[in-house]
Chain A
Amino acid sequence: MAETIKLEVTRYAPERHQAPTSQSFEVPYRKDWVVLDALNYIKDNLDGSLSYRWSCRMGICGSCGMMVNGEPKLTCATFLSKYAPGPVRVEPLRYFPVVRDLIIEMTDFMAKLRSVKPWIIREEEKPLSEGEYLQTPEQLDTYKQFSMCINCMLCYAACPVYGLDPLFSGPAAIALAQRYNLDSRDQGAEERMGILSQHAGIWGCTFVGECTRVCPKHVDPAGAIQQYKLTAAKEWFKSLLMPWGAK
């Protein structure tokens, strides 16, 4: 008999359930299967009503984040073998409202991304006919890491501050702001600083660094938050030294 492994999957349909419950499924156990393959096996063969998001199965589209045995994971990059002999608990990403089964509501996250103005801001645009803005590999390196974010939201599911205060911009949005702030082509850092320091959330971050630990793309959002706070503190300190009455 082929080997199998047990999955315990969160089920929830607002029309039918008061609250999420868990359902067990027995699926084949294979060395080359990731958790997402097991979910697909369930959907194709056992229960077509199981709902979850996925697309690329190569860790780049950012759709398939879920809690696996209590840890935020990309399910397409997490082998079943890591949890053998099982069972494997699969739940929706923590701290987000659940819509259905393993699907969470992410409109708030999308609004947060937009709020940091993640585009190049310049006083003057150079015409295309003048070619590219020069940027040396070293200049590229200063923001490169922060540009690798796939918006998978694992860092939010790991962030205790976001868990307590949903208004907090959160790790990925701050890293994204920093991605543009550090880009030699951009001049919008001040504008973005205003937006982020408006809310107290950023000061609540105690650098537990959980976001950086769970990030599958080595973005280091905790590093971005730290840089941000430092700059903000400097600005605040400068404003203290301003003569009264000046603008």
Chain B
Amino acid sequence: MDISSHDVLIIGGGGAGLRAAIAVAEVNPRLNVAVISKVYPMRSHTVSAEGGAAAVIKTGDTLDDHAYDTISGGDWLCDQDAVEAFVQEAPEELLRLEHWGCPWSRDPDGHIAVRAFGGMKKERTWFAADKTGFHMLHTLFQTTLKYTAIARYDEWFVTKLLVDDNRVQGVVAIEIMSGKIQAITAKAVILCTGGCGRVFPFTTNANIKNGDGMALAYRAGAPLKDMEFVQYHPTGLPFTGILITEAARAEGGYMLNKDGYRYLQDYNLGTPQPKPVLRSMELGPRDRLCQAFVKEMEKGRTIKGPYGDVVHLDVRHLGEKLINTKLPFVRELCLKYQNIDPVKELIPVRPVVHYMMGGVSTNIHGATPLAGLYAAGEVACVSINGANRLGSNSLPELLVFGARAGRAAAEFASTQKESNGIILSQALDETKRVEAQFLEKTGGRERIATLREEMQKAMENGAGIYRTHSSLAEAAAKLRELQERFPSITLDDRSRTFNTELTAAVELGFMLDVGEAIVQSALHRTESRGAHQRTDYPKRDDEKFLAHTLIYRNADGSTHGDYLPVTITRWPPGERVYGQPAQAAQAKGG
């Protein structure tokens, strides 16, 4: 078997992975660092982020304000020491990107421009037009090209972490182009594999977001944290899941049910006005809008479409001129990817899965409880996002914690010896498994697409916007059944050359594990907080659940859980309020 070795191996070439790679190269240029990614790095899903990246830079804004917005937005489930480190380091990280050439949008005098964003009380969101993630990722990627110390494995797919002596010592990976399966050993491994939106049927997440890193860590014995917290966005296009930005509502778009009625008025979100009012009706918080959608559906007042129920987003009354100047990207997306013209037509929308708050449990240096294993970005849970992430906090998180994990892993790797030979026999076993289970398998008749669809449906029905004990228990049973059917899947494709059916099969296996972790964590959290809403336990319960869920996978595939207290430094838990009461409370408290 071929084998290669590095000091630090980074899995994932998105924002978090590339930032980590540069951090390693800068801490210790003698270290041999490599980035492995199942797609070319600039294809990573960071590329799709539109809105922006939050960091305090303007006078009148303070780090404490950013921290408070983050913590209250996260319904007090954020670790406050992590949030403090995050808000402190975010500005210098975004500045560093500026020095590397990121084309941030500017004020007329040449300084960085910032914009307002949902849940942020001050304007602090840096942006590069409406393609922020695209520009950040390309800037990072192009900058890594300068560092000859950074090796790359482009289009290599990791199937397993190699663990021996309670320490992660490398990975097994498939070179997709040739089908070669080999071991890559390393003294430290950083997971930067992104989120897992594809576990659900409707998502803004790309085809590559399958929770690979979460499953890799989980199978290796590391705990996943707060997996029950999955963020929905209220306005995604059905079928494609393409995101229609909040700006469409901020400009005055209406949400209509099948009778053309602005239904949000029935859900304690204010009274309809012709013009948009902050924090009211269409501009209420994301989670409340998603919840209202479900209630409307239950009342039979949504519209049946070819891809399930939808409501309508109506921007027609804004007129072609305003739409073209203020919402050009919305029109472009609708026209180019859904064949609908919002100037003349209603936009069908529905809540779509957008972001994973939970992930591989790490400390504030990006270290997991498993020696030699680090994680950063959407795959990780530090946690700064708590029960609900604020828009525009994720991109700076990639940089701050990517850099932190890179530095910590570099330090750890500098003190370790080469990995031992034992893991090579493990690697050989894994190669045999992949070959026997997929490439050379005879018999079996399950199709990947069938299992995947059933899984996605079970997740949406059982662990969607609203959950109950029975919906979750049903999803858990269904996932068990799918786990049992998984070994009978059969591949049409037995070629070694660029076999994307093989990678899809391994991804499906990852998603089933991640789905189970989400459902089990949600089943055990008998309260409602942020994105986790239990109709059978509608209240937040700080007595019992001001704590992070940790879920572990046992060797036999069963799970066990544990709770970890939330770190509170300066902001004791309070109410998370919106609309009129929020303004009143603010006026009172100053």
Contact = CB atoms under 8 A, between A and B. Distances in A.
Interface of A: 13-16, 30-32, 34, 43-45, 47-49, 51-63, 76-77, 79, 81, 99-101, 103, 106, 110, 113-114, 117-120, 125-126, 128, 131-137, 139-140, 143-144, 147-148, 150-151, 176, 180, 183, 185-186
A57 B176 CA distance: 21
Contacts of A34: 337
B45 A56 contact: yes
Contact of B496 (A15, A58, A183): A15
Contacts of A113: 142, 145
A55 B108 contact: no
The 5 tightest CB contacts between A and B, nearest first, are A134-B110, A49-B493, A48-B492, A44-B449, A100-B498
Given A49-B492, A51-B500, A61 B154 contact: no
A114 B337 CA distance: 31
Interface residues of B, number: 61
Interface string B353-381: 00000000000000000000000000000
Nearest to A76: B337
Contact of A118 (B95, B109, B142, B333): B142
A14 to B, nearest CB: 6
Contacts of B96: 128
B207 interface: yes
Given A49-B492, A106-B40, A132 B111 contact: yes
Interface of B: 39-40, 42-45, 47-48, 92, 95-96, 98-101, 103-106, 108-112, 131, 134-135, 138, 142-143, 145-146, 154, 177, 206-208, 239-240, 242, 306, 333, 336-340, 447-449, 491-501
The secondary structure that dominates the B interface is: loop
B45 A55 contact: yes
B39 A55 contact: yes
B99 A126 contact: yes
Nearest to A106: B40
Nearest to A57: B240
Contacts of B101: 119-120, 180, 183, 185-186
Given A15-B496, A185-B101, A61 B449 contact: no
The secondary structure that dominates the A interface is: loop
Contact of A77 (B100, B337, B449): B337
Contact of A99 (B98, B138, B494, B498): B498
Given A45-B449, A49-B501, A106-B40, A128 B95 contact: yes
A139 B110 contact: yes
A62 B134 CA distance: 11
A114 B145 contact: yes
17 contacts: A15-B495, A32-B339, A32-B340, A44-B449, A51-B498, A55-B43, A60-B47, A61-B39, A62-B43, A79-B339, A100-B497, A119-B100, A119-B146, A134-B110, A139-B110, A147-B135, A151-B42
